[in-house]
Structure 1
């Protein structure tokens, strides 16, 4: 008898109902774990840190993307806009949108006001010309145009709490402080070796570590050509004219200010000064962080003030440090795809996520590949 087609198996709701081991307790790993457990799988999450969502899921601007960020990648812009409503509805308890979100295009940018508007119209992203009170925030010598947009941020602390509750309700087992040394594919499943020497057996293994290195992986699962950047996200106190606002200046000259809900501050990221170098492996980037890096927050503030003069009154309070992982081939168009790798036997998948708000796409991609092994 021939094997049922993917469409037939999808229609019947078939999926991985055996033992699934998820390596990585970030937002993607935890969401996949809950999703699969609700469909009948016995799922265990293995997280090296002392808590969930403690890596890239916390170290970011907490932006729920509406697509405005990507005028040079229509696909990423469109997927972000398509995901916006579902994410903000699904995680409404964690979403904060009580601020004015403003985008501007710098003169001499990699895009321009006309193209930015065309992209927003094409993907259906709400866009309104900024009123005079907002336009006055920008230096007209360096900024071509500005708009009021629709984007929110998420509270990472609330999101962690919600993720924990959902995994508990779904019956997911969580093991914290469990760093993984290697993954091996077998004829009927896979083995996960912890650094302690303990070995766990599963029918499938999902590696969701955002590029964090595991010494031993099956062929086809690793990532080549990554840029791993030790990065600084500055937390700043803003002067009165900028409070209650999120401001992003595009695209080439780039910086962004967004509220960071788990603190009273805004994050400030800058295309030139947020990355502290670039390395081909995650381990090298982490080593640079551990060696100690000098803050560049004052450089970020001084340069950004050329576009938004009121930023001269910003005060740097502290910085978040982490590693950003991006496929090197995407530097040119700034696309942020979901990258999936699969072992020869299909029992081990690795998933490199793009943006937190694209979680719906990630769930569909992973489940589709897992069905192929049923």
Structure 2
């Protein structure tokens, strides 16, 4: 019987799992090492609520994002906002996929879009573009929402240091729990699969005027995307945003926290040069504000796979989270185990089938509906 659940990490996954389980009557503790939820990767990203347009080369991620987007809107309608002009564009020369194929993939996946020929800002060297319905996540709203929802189930400023699995429980900080969910992107217990940590640098820019979200796909390209602050945007780049790939979380933090001003200036120059190939008015529209530093966790091998995976070893679950909109997949996997653990054990029973056949046969004989058979059952 599962009644107490410990969760490590108060990112989107930890907060969603914790609040969902709490609403179902479980005794939940969500441990977060920082002073607020959504402090690390969940609060340091491009603030995009995905629909699947980012992943033309991975069907599973597209489907999880497509379905998760609709569920997110139902469950958390006030934690994101609409983007009036949200553009995905396929460059003529540098994309790894042509526009016709990209359009076909999105159509076959069932993701809604509208082809467009004109935009509010000049975009050049493009084979085709489409308007999409992806949204901006409201991180500060989400922090307040989950703080209130979790209440005293949320334990902030606490880094878990003691985990011991026994036969019937998982001891976390000396207390017994029926299940433990590691939602720390592998930083607490690692992952039962090959993965690496990727320190990253996005760039924050400020503007005085509304600007569309513009994402260039697919390949080593770039993206300009709004944040919860209507005047602040992020600039990201597939080749320039990563700061390295390492297998140790401490090394990843060292790289992230050791970024120099010279490196920031070099990244600004490289990313601005890249985006201005397609958005020639970028520097006229934006002023650089500062870097956004974070750490991503990614599986080794298929770098296009950003779907959610959940692994279980005994009473410990490890969540390899993909995009924020796949939180529901993780919840379903954990609930499936909880429900199976609640099934009662039934004693073996003899089947009444033979008795029922004999009874029915005797009744039909008496009614003259069938001829007697030579052999008895």
TM-score under structure 2 normalisation?
Answer: 0.84
Q: Report the equivalent of 1:177.
A: 157
1:350 to 285, 294, 318: 318
RMSD over aligned Cα atoms: 1.9
Q: Distance in 2 between matches of 1:350 and 1:183?
A: 14
Match of 2:363 in 1: none
Quote the residue 1:116 is aligned against. Answer: 102
Following TM superposition, by how much is the alpha carbon of 1:160 offset from its aligned partner in structure 2, in angstroms? Answer: 1.0
* Residue 340 (structure 1) aligned with residue 313 (structure 2): no
Q: Where does the alignment leave 5 or more consecutive residues of structure 2 unmatched?
A: 343-377
What CA distance in whole angstroms lies between the structure 1 residues aligned with 2:94 and 2:258?
A: 36
Of residues 304, 308, 320 in structure 1, which corresponds to 2:292?
A: 320
The TM-score normalised by the length of structure 1 is 0.85
Do residues 159 (structure 1) and 142 (structure 2) align? yes
Deviation string for 1:104-125 (max 9, x for gaps)? 0122322210111111111222
Is the contact between residue 236 and residue 268 of structure 1 (CA under 8 Å) also seen in structure 2?
yes
Query: What SS does the aligned partner of 2:333 have?
Result: helix
Say which SS state the counterpart of residue 161 (structure 2) adopts.
strand
**Which structure's CA Rg is the greater one?**
2
Shift of 1:229: 1.0
Q: What secondary structure sits across from 2:214 in the alignment?
A: strand
Give 2:114's match in structure 1, choosing from 114, 119, 128: 128
Residue matched to 1:5: none
Structure 1 counterpart SS, 2:283: helix
Moved more, 317-326 or 259-268: 259-268
Q: 1:239 to 1:308 in 2, by over 3 A?
A: farther
User: Residue 133 and residue 61 in structure 1: after superposition, are their counterparts in 2 closer, same or farther (change >3 A)?
Assistant: closer
The answer to whether 1:186 aligns with 2:172 is no
Q: Give 1:1-374 correspondences, 5 Å limit.
A: 17-106=2-91, 107-134=93-120, 137-140=122-125, 143-168=126-151, 173-193=153-173, 199-212=174-187, 214=188, 217=189, 222-238=191-207, 240=209, 243-262=210-229, 264-293=231-260, 294-295=263-264, 296-313=267-284, 314-331=286-303, 334-343=304-313, 346-374=314-342
Quote how far apart the aligned CAs of 1:129 are. Answer: 1.8
- Once residues 59 and 295 of structure 2 are traced to their aligned partners in structure 1, the CA distance between those partners, rounded to angstroms, is 26
State the distance in 2 between where 1:276 and 1:263 align. Answer: 27
* 1:239, distance to aligned residue in structure 2 (A): 7.4
Deviation at 1:210, TM superposition (A): 1.3
- Number of residue pairs matched by the alignment: 336
- Taking the aligned partners of 1:326 and 1:341, their CA distance within structure 2 comes to 15
Deviation for aligned residue 1:362: 1.6
**How many angstroms apart in 1 are the aligned matches of 2:166 and 2:75?**
37
TM-aligned CA deviation for residue 259 of structure 1:
0.8
Residue 133 (structure 1) shift:
3.6
Specify whether residues 262 and 223 from structure 1 end up closer, same or farther in structure 2 by C-alpha distance, changes over 3 A only: farther
In 1, the alpha carbon distance for the partners of 2:229 and 2:244 equals 28
SS at match of 2:43: coil
Structure 2: how far apart are the matches of 1:182 and 1:307? Answer: 51
- Secondary structure at 2:186 match in 1: coil
CA distance in 2, matches of 1:118, 1:67: 13
Offset from partner CA, 1:16-63 (integer Å, 9 cap, x none): 642111111111111111111222211111111111111111011111
Other structure's SS at 2:147 match: helix
